[in-house]
Structure 1
Amino acid sequence: MTVAPDVDGVRVISCTGEFDQDSLGPFRQAVADALADPVRTIVVDVSPITFADSSMLNELIRLRNSGRPLILAGPLNPQMARLFELTSADQIFTVVDGIEAARAL
């Protein structure tokens, strides 16, 4: 996981690899740091995620409900897209293709 320097009030958190209950610590910390800072929008780059379970989805929902604008930079991998479809999360998240498209919103 990497966190890019803020540009124009946008914080980008890039997630790489698998995310489940046992591997969410760094993501939770990056989110806590972003929420503590005066960033305008949080972008989570989910395109490099190879696996995400309901624990990751719950963290994304918590972040969405924080009141801070959230954009997911995709595309979603097939497994994550299926998770979003089955849970109707695809109806509540803004997912765009790529970080630059997310920054532009």
Structure 2
Amino acid sequence: MEQRVEVAPDVDGVRLITCTGDFDHDTLAPLRAAGAEAASDPTVRWIALDLTGLTLADSSMLSQLLFMLRTGRLVLVNRVPPALDWMFDVTGVRELFPVVGAADLRRAL
């Protein structure tokens, strides 16, 4: 499946990045760029990452998520998709990633 990274306009210091499709070492560049841009922007208080449409992820995707988590501003939106679910369990990182519902996103942050 083709992958896509969409960055919504910031609202109240929250930058929403939505990822759909397959993400592996060869297709991770757009997410890396969006994550780096958000992390370097001092007006972004929270990086909200919606991975609901993720269909494939490898260890390089997990590495990118951990990099974004180190900013102290990352939150996952809606749920952890099946493509990452098992990897979160195997590596024991599930509890590191805060998850909020899309409807509660702005209120929760």
Check whether the contact 1:71–1:102 (CA below 8 A) recurs between aligned residues. no
Identity over aligned pairs, percent: 44
Which residue does the alignment assign to 1:52? Answer: 57
The answer to whether 1:36 aligns with 2:40 is yes
Following superposition, the deviation at residue 102 of structure 1 comes to 2.7
Following superposition, the deviation at residue 91 of structure 1 comes to 1.4
Q: Which runs of 4+ in 1 moved over 6 A?
A: none
Cα deviation code 1:29-85 (max 9, x no counterpart): 101111121211110001110111111111010111123x11101322223111111
TM-score (norm 1): 0.90
Number of equivalent positions: 103
Secondary structure of the 1:13 match is strand
| Counterpart Cα distance in 1 of 2:28 and 2:63 | 11
Following superposition, the deviation at residue 103 of structure 1 comes to 2.6
Check whether the contact 2:51–2:80 (CA below 8 A) recurs between aligned residues. yes
TM-score (norm 2): 0.87
Secondary structure of the 1:23 match is coil
Gaps of 5+ in 1: none
Check whether the contact 2:22–2:55 (CA below 8 A) recurs between aligned residues. yes
Q: 1:2 aligns with which of 3, 6, 20?
A: 6
Q: CA RMSD in A?
A: 1.3
Q: Trace 1:13-24 onto structure 2 (pairs within 5 A).
A: 13-24=17-28
